[in-house]
Amino acid sequence: MDEKKQPIEAPSQDEQLELFFYHFKHNFYRAEQVYKRLSKKKGNFSFKLELNKEKGGKVSYNVPDEQTAKEFAVSMSRFLLPDSSLNIDNLLRTLQQLSTDTEYQDFLINVNQCLNKVKEGQFPVIMNNKQLRADDVFVELSSNVLFANDIDAAKYLDKLRNDPITGNLKWSLYYGYCLDVFKILSIIIDYLEKHDIHPPRIDRKNHCIFCKTTDGNFSSVEHVIPESIGNETLFLPRGYVCDNCNTRISKLEQDFVNSLPISMVKIFFGSVGKKGKLPSAKFSNVHLQRISPNAITMRYHVGAKSIPKATELPEGGYKLKLSLTTQFNPHIIARVLFKMGLGIVATDRGREEALHPRYDPAREYILNGGHFPNRLAIFKESHPSNVSKIEGAINNKEGTFIHFELLGARFIIGLEPNPKNMINEQLLDQAYVFDLWKDKPEPLHGSVKRTS
């Protein structure tokens, strides 16, 4: 943000605890949704070990549905990977702060003992005189398969296939560990609910930055960037967005993430959304689906015309060239970007700033649609990456311009009616620019013809 930025007070310990607790529950419910989907599939997680004197041992494992099982592992990785803030050990330490009640503290000690057993695995496996532990196996397979790039993952999977006993043992430990820790988390959530244990309630004024209401329900924290393309650290605290607006906006966000260019870049780098599903996108002629964090399938329909083309770059990564189709509605894109923009004004400059009348036209546009007297620029080229970030210049006299880079797709908006987003030859060359004061904005064209 610009140099006039006023420092916002760092969150207090109670605020940090509130946010941590929110993250915990949010990620648990996401994993629970995948777990429920998994339970509906035929078959069970199972593991079979056969010993035969002549042929040696044979181990096989079975998962109900490979795709959903992977989504479950991705959801659970928030609790199981050591570098995650929600890592189960860190989680249990933080939960100790919620109450000094002896029964509760004893409960946590029991949970910890149970967890230590679970980390060792559902069955003892000694390999090369070393015990194979479930927690180590989870980290090993996650970093070498689930979150590795596809080439490294393929090599590693080949290695595992050449040694099927070890491979199948490891996958059994891997999924067994996900399930066991999930069960422990369910027990914790039940206990906390039954005994009404929660972080201290923070006395915070309710004032919605979108509709300005101070009444009604304010029950949740708001993600500044939609979750499925998200930056999981950018939040508006409870009290900043009313439940009504939250519901209205989340419908709009659905349309946004399912429309170009986000629908395309999220296939490459988006993560599991609210329901824990990996991203997929249907275009008129092709269906793209992320089948694990490192693999995508493409299914073409007969008579396919054009889709956004991805080119592999020599230095690694991809470049996408965007061509817009007729179903494309710039107002949907713009309204969600405006929502994120106002959110970033609130997190960076404080809620009072976001409530300033200069942003009233933006509020009206976000909630009710229609027109907005400024422009939207969507860059034609994106370099898909796993980063989503927002940068802006917030200035009373020179307008509020916000730059977005969402998984590599880039946009600029002007959050105030004036001044207008400047257009020049260079911008028109690189971006589709739309006048948002029109009903059906068409991309603007440059005035000078090019010869190359």
- Count of CA atoms in the C-beta half-sphere (13 A) of 231: 18
Shortest distance, position 366 Cβ to Zn ion, whole Å = 10
Shortest distance, position 212 Cβ to Zn ion, whole Å = 7
Nearer to Zn ion, 170 or 207 (CB): 207
Shortest distance, position 249 Cβ to Zn ion, whole Å = 9
* Inter-residue contact 210 to 340 (CB < 8 Å): no
* Inter-residue contact 310 to 292 (CB < 8 Å): no
Per-residue contact flags (x/-) with Zn ion for residues 391 to 430, judged by CB under 5 A: ----------------------------------------
Sign (positive or negative) of CA dihedral 114, 120, 125, 130: negative
Shortest distance, position 369 Cβ to Zn ion, whole Å = 16
The footprint of Zn ion on residues 201-220 (CB under 5 A) is 208, 210-211
346 lies in the site for Zn ion, by CB under 5 A: no
Nearer to Zn ion, 117 or 212 (CB): 212
Interacting span for Zn ion (CB under 5 A) from 236-244, 299-307, 432-440, 442-450: 236-244
Query: What is the Cα–Cα distance from 175 to 69, expressed in whole angstroms?
Result: 8
Shortest distance, position 135 Cβ to Zn ion, whole Å = 43
Sheet containing strand 409-414, strands side by side: 388-395, 399-406, 409-414, 375-379, 431-435
Query: Which DSSP string corresponds to 2-43?
Result: -TTPPPPPPPPHHHHHHHHHHHHHHHHHHHHHHHHHHHHSSS
Nearer to Zn ion, 197 or 211 (CB): 211
- How many residues at the interface with Zn ion, by CB under 5 A? 5
Nearer to Zn ion, 211 or 423 (CB): 211
Nearer to Zn ion, 31 or 242 (CB): 242
Query: What is the Cα–Cα distance from 259 to 299, expressed in whole angstroms?
Result: 18
Shortest distance, position 363 Cβ to Zn ion, whole Å = 9
| N- to C-terminal Cα separation, the chain | 37
Shortest distance, position 24 Cβ to Zn ion, whole Å = 26
Tokens of 152: 């490294």
Shortest distance, position 241 Cβ to Zn ion, whole Å = 6
Query: What is the Cα–Cα distance from 110 to 346, expressed in whole angstroms?
Result: 42
Shortest distance, position 341 Cβ to Zn ion, whole Å = 16
Q: Which residues contact 91 (CB under 8 A, 6 or more apart)?
A: 24, 79
The footprint of Zn ion on residues 8-67 (CB under 5 A) is none
The footprint of Zn ion on residues 243-282 (CB under 5 A) is 245
Query: What is the Cα–Cα distance from 215 to 205, expressed in whole angstroms?
Result: 10
Interacting span for Zn ion (CB under 5 A) from 133-141, 221-229, 241-249, 254-262: 241-249
Query: What is the Cα–Cα distance from 43 to 20, expressed in whole angstroms?
Result: 35
Shortest distance, position 243 Cβ to Zn ion, whole Å = 8
Per-residue contact flags (x/-) with Zn ion for residues 166 to 205, judged by CB under 5 A: ----------------------------------------
- Residue 414: beta bridge partners? 401
Amino acid at 222: E
Strand (E) or helix (H) holding 396: none
Q: Which of 38, 242, 406, 412 binds Zn ion (CB under 5 A)?
A: 242
Nearer to Zn ion, 17 or 342 (CB): 342
Nearer to Zn ion, 31 or 221 (CB): 221
3-state secondary structure of 165: helix
Q: Which residue ranges make up the site for Zn ion (CB under 5 A)?
A: 208, 210-211, 242, 245
